[in-house]
A and B are shown apart, each in its own frame.
Chain A
Amino acid sequence: MQLGIAAFILRKLLRLALLLIAVAIFSFVLISLSPIDPIDAYVGADMLQISPEQRDIIAQRWGLDQPMMTRFILWLRQLASGNLGTSIIFNQPVSTVIGSRFQTSLQMLAIAWLISGALGLAMGVVAGARAGSWLDRAIRFYAYTLAASPTFWVALLLLLVFSVSLKITPICCATPPGVLTRDVTVWQRLHHLILPAATLSLIGVANIALHTRQKLIEVLNSDYVLFARAQGESLVGIIRHHGLRNIILPALTLQFASLSELFGGSVLAEQVFSYPGLGKATVEAALRSDVPLLVGIVFFSALFVYTGNLIADLTYQIVDPRIRIGKSS
């Protein structure tokens, strides 16, 4: 069994390497062909003040006069040695920017992830156990509506209600304006991430609740639940002893696989709330042609989503006895 998991991880790492190479090729080709001129982007408003000769010198210095293939190999070599380059808009190494921005996002993502998982599971179980009741209808109505709502729209709505009308949450940012980072309290941080986290939770719940509901209905119609009923087990007993046991695995898988949606959602939610996380950095990098940062974020998000899916696959290997024991024997 140990060997099985080692081989599994090895195979997954190989796939990750292939994925990253593919991402590297695609992002390089796409950005090379895009209308963004790296020198324009770098020089920005000072463009009028430099002569064509100076421009050529910069191009030569950066190797932009080389053919695309040569540039790609040079870039790949830097990438392989861990150098993602320097962000133009932050004037810091890309890895530093991603690191600090991700830390800011992480708290919000973690809270949204846990809440949507727990709440989604609970709602799915209630809806599935009482399938067809008005409670089930209400939960399904909520889930379908939210699943169909764009993230930025939900974010705007929350902002309108809680920040503009009720004034109980801050209107933007991760910290109060005009306060030094070291003076910001934990409560102030939490206060600022309530709305972005709530946006992502409200939307994340829908998918998980619907899947859990479906799975529980499947379990409740199974032969083993019929047998449990024949033994006098009540509905609560059935859910406690058989329902949760059999829905938790698909729920866990879904939970880790949902990291990708959460990440995608955070780009939109952070934009609306001006929350200075990785999602907002993505938008800034794209709008202001910060190519190194954009490529760095592409790599990071590929890694992040892949890790989520890898954990989802691994939980099955470790938790499901039919796979864990069935493979070894």
Chain B
Amino acid sequence: MLSVQDLNITFTLYGRGLAQKQLTVITQLDLDVKAGEVVAVVGASGSGKSLLAHAILGILPDNAQVSGKMLFKGEPLTLNRCQDLRGKAIALIPQSIGYLDPLMHVGQQVQRTAQLSGLSRPAAKAAVDRTFARYRLAAIVQRLYPFQLSGGMARRVLVSTAVVSQAELVIADEPTPGLHPDVVTETLNHLRELASEGKGVILITHDIEAALQIADRVAVFYAGTTVEIAHAQDFSNNKIRHPYTQALWRSLPQNEFIPISGSQPTPDALPDGCLFSDRCPWVTQECRLDRPPFLQVRGAPVRCIHADR
């Protein structure tokens, strides 16, 4: 349904006076999502997860230049097509209640979402009623303001915005930050349900455990690039390929609980070769020369020349 190949995003920044500075924040990023599938996008903050979402929706700031290939249902996703598709075929589930207008009843806001997706006013109203009922949100919730919602209610309202729009591709940007474990599970189940209905779901998160609960595949981002797109079962089967993915996995409390030393390079100080080379235990001279291409190793793509060892 969605395929992103070799995506690069560069920001033009103004330094002192008229000096311009180019800052490449996403390099060689790849991702693909099929209908009925949940693809988790995992990575530390600053790895380019949210920027990818904004690029797909065409809502990057004006000083951003995008290159590479983005295809939606086989057709190139140009800025114009983004504008036509967002809110209709592609929907975003935002991080927090801060993404709702603080002075508007939530029912009215979700109804606006439905109308923007192309429904008439009565149809949109019906869609809101139906969706709120589906997520066990009482009718009275429609007349509440965002600040009056509890954490769990807020999650369900935000998921409702994606459901009323009938979108085929749903991008959930960090939908479970700092939530009670029950609410996390509930929200993740709602996303899984959407995939079962035939939608493609991108789950953007830094929480690899949460991702593995529902994802079919996991794309691991590092410093603005995709290092690996693994199958969810690869993690428990010890089949993950990239040294960064393995390090992430090992750092979990229930595994070895070993943190990775060092930190992700900032966009203005990227290494010339493999982006992970300065922290990698397997690093060789060869790694420092070129950015590694995607290689198929044990049935999935990985950006590491030593992955098959």
Contact = CB atoms under 8 A, between A and B. Distances in A.
Interface string A224-244: 101111111100010001100
B104 A242 contact: yes
Interface size bracket, B side: 20 to 34
A228 B115 CA distance: 12
A329 interface: yes
Contacts of A227: 92, 94, 99-100
A322 B102 contact: yes
Interface string A134-152: 0000000000000000000
Given A229-B59, A232-B87, A246 B102 contact: yes
B90 to A, nearest CB: 8
B225 interface: no
Contact of B86 (A224, A231, A237, A249): A231
A326 B101 CA distance: 16
A329 B161 contact: no
B116 interface: yes
Contacts of B86: 229-232
B165 A231 contact: yes
A223 B102 CA distance: 11
Residue among A230, A241, A321, A322 having the largest count of chain B Cβ atoms under 10 Å: A230
Contacts of A241: 101, 104, 112
A11 interface: no
A61 interface: no
Given A231-B113, A231-B116, A329 B148 contact: yes
Contacts of A229: 57, 59, 86
Interface in B165-224: 165
A322 B165 CA distance: 28
A232 B98 contact: no
A229 B38 CA distance: 24
B59 A245 contact: no
Nearest to B57: A230
A237 B109 CA distance: 13
A193 to B, nearest CB: 37
B88 interface: yes
Interface in B64-103: 83, 86-88, 91-92, 94, 96, 98-103
A1 interface: no
A231 to B, nearest CB: 4
Interface residues of A, number: 22
B147 A326 contact: yes
Contacts of A325: 145, 148
Contacts of A65: none
A329 B149 CA distance: 12
B86 to A, nearest CB: 5
Contacts of A231: 86-87, 91-92, 112-113, 116-117, 161, 165
Contacts of A223: 94, 96, 98-99
Nearest to B83: A232
B89 to A, nearest CB: 10
A261 interface: no
Contacts of A322: 102-103, 145, 147
B185 to A, nearest CB: 24
Interface in A215-271: 223-224, 226-233, 237, 241-242, 245-246, 249
Contact of A230 (B87, B98, B102): B87
Given A231-B91, A231-B165, A321 B116 contact: no
A320 interface: yes
Residue among B91, B101, B147 having the largest count of chain A Cβ atoms under 10 Å: B101
A242 B148 CA distance: 18
A321 B101 contact: no
Contacts of B147: 322, 326
B279 to A, nearest CB: 32
Nearest to A224: B101
B70 to A, nearest CB: 16
A245 B98 contact: no
A246 B113 CA distance: 18
A232 B145 contact: no
A169 B104 CA distance: 47
Contact of B104 (A230, A233, A245, A329): A245
B125 to A, nearest CB: 16
Contacts of A329: 148
B99 A224 contact: yes
A242 B87 contact: no
Given A230-B59, A326-B147, A224 B102 contact: yes
Contacts of B103: 245-246, 249, 320-322
A237 B59 CA distance: 16
B203 to A, nearest CB: 16
Nearest to B94: A227
Contacts of A321: 103, 145
A249 B103 CA distance: 10
Going nearest first, the 3 A-B pairs with the smallest beta carbon separation are A232-B87, A231-B87, A227-B99
Given A229-B57, A231-B86, 10 more contacts: A226-B59, A227-B94, A230-B59, A230-B91, A230-B94, A231-B112, A232-B86, A232-B88, A232-B116, A245-B101
23 contacts: A223-B99, A224-B99, A224-B102, A226-B99, A227-B100, A229-B57, A230-B59, A230-B87, A231-B91, A231-B116, A231-B161, A231-B165, A232-B83, A232-B87, A232-B117, A233-B87, A242-B101, A245-B101, A245-B104, A321-B103, A325-B148, A326-B147, A329-B148
